């Protein structure tokens, strides 16, 4: 094996960089279009577990290296698994990793640099916010290969209208970035050369907000969606009252009264 091949083989499947309160996790299997191998899923889960308890991380960004965000599960790896039990374990592992994202106290932004299909589309849908380049395309394409994208359907059905989700899931057809924004899969669309700037600007806005309020608010947001209307209002009423009594709530209200910027 050549020195170049040896170096490529040694590349980590996930890159992590923390600058100024923003931790960026980069899927790093560009030759496989950042397919979610078991190793990459495990690395993502470990990284998310770490940043959850890192007070220096205010915002998390997930993106891909090369031309793709993620092409979904590594089907070649799946074919090599010797038993159905191991296939189920792989999907359970991926589902556990995906659930780490709404459980994080920090906002999580998907910086969608290219195509996002199947579990890659799932990852975009699972992130709290998403910015995509104009050339990005999205699909839950498993049905084309005999696999209904059941696990991607979980977050997808929670962020886009039901008929949009079902059309994507039943046809496997691609949608472009403009349609993804129209239907709520992504928040913003930008030129490829502007992606870093757009993500940085959004992250900076989030870091200007009180971390405690964001963490509590994010937890409440996901919790109340699973509750009935009355229970959701009860939960939300307590949450906002607790915010009012918190140090950041008291400072924010006093700043409003004083007509000045809050000092978090």
For helices 84-103 and 119-126, the axis angle rounded to 10 degrees is 20
What pTM was estimated for this model as a whole? 0.93
Q: Among 140, 145, 135, which Cα is nearest to 160's?
A: 140
- Average pLDDT rounded to a whole number, residues 175-180: 98
Give the model confidence (pLDDT) of 83-100 as tens digits. Answer: 999 999 999 999 999 999
> What integer best gives the mean pLDDT of the chain?
95
Specify the higher pLDDT residue, 244 or 48.
48
Instruction: Tell me: pLDDT of 3 over 50.
Output: no
Structural domains of the chain sorted by starting position, each given as residue range(s) with its CATH number in brackets: 3-207 (3.90.226.10), 211-258 (1.10.12.10)
Measuring CA to CA, how many Å separate 212 from each of 75, 101, 236?
Answer: 40, 17, 16
Q: Mean pLDDT throughout 6-14?
A: 72
* pLDDT recorded at residue 10: 73
Q: Give the pLDDT confidence score for residue 6 in this predicted structure.
A: 43
Whether residue 246 is predicted with pLDDT greater than 60 in this model: the reply is yes
User: In the prediction, which pLDDT does 4 show?
Assistant: 42
pLDDT at residue 2, rounded to an integer: 44
E-only strand ranges, the chain: 14-19, 22-27, 59-64, 68-70, 108-112, 115-117, 129-133, 137-139, 175-176, 188-190
Is the pLDDT confidence value at 74 over 70?
yes
Please check the confidence at residue 1 and state whether its pLDDT lies above 80. Answer: no
Q: Tokens in use for 105?
A: 């106290």
């Amino acid at each position: 094996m050549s020195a170049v091949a040896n170096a490529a083989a040694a590349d980590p499947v996930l890159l992590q960089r923390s600058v100024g309160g923003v931790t960026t996790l980069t899927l790093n299997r560009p030759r496989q279009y950042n397919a979610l191998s078991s190793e990459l899923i495990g690395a993502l889960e470990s990284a998310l577990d770490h940043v959850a308890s890192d007070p220096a991380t205010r915002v998390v960004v997930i993106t891909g290296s090369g031309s793709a965000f993620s092409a979904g599960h590594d089907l070649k790896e799946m074919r090599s698994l010797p038993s159905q039990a191991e296939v189920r374990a792989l999907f359970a592992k991926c589902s556990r990793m995906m659930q780490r994202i709404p459980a994080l106290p920090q906002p999580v932004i998907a910086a969608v640099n290219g195509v996002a299909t199947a579990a890659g589309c799932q990852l975009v849908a699972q992130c709290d916010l998403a910015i995509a380049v104009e050339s990005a395309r999205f699909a839950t394409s498993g049905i084309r290969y005999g696999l209904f994208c059941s696990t991607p359907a979980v977050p997808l059905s929670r962020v886009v209208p039901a008929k949009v989700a079902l059309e994507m899931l039943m046809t496997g057809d691609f949608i472009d970035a403009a349609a993804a924004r129209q239907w709520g899969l992504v928040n913003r669309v930008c030129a490829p050369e502007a992606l870093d700037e757009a993500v940085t600007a959004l992250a900076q806005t989030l870091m200007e907000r009180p971390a405690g309020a964001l963490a509590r608010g994010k937890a409440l947001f996901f919790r109340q969606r699973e509750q009935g209307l009355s229970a959701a209002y009860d939960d939300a009423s307590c949450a906002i009252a607790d915010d009012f009594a918190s140090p950041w709530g008291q400072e924010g209200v006093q700043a409003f009264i004083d007509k000045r910027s809050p000092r978090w």
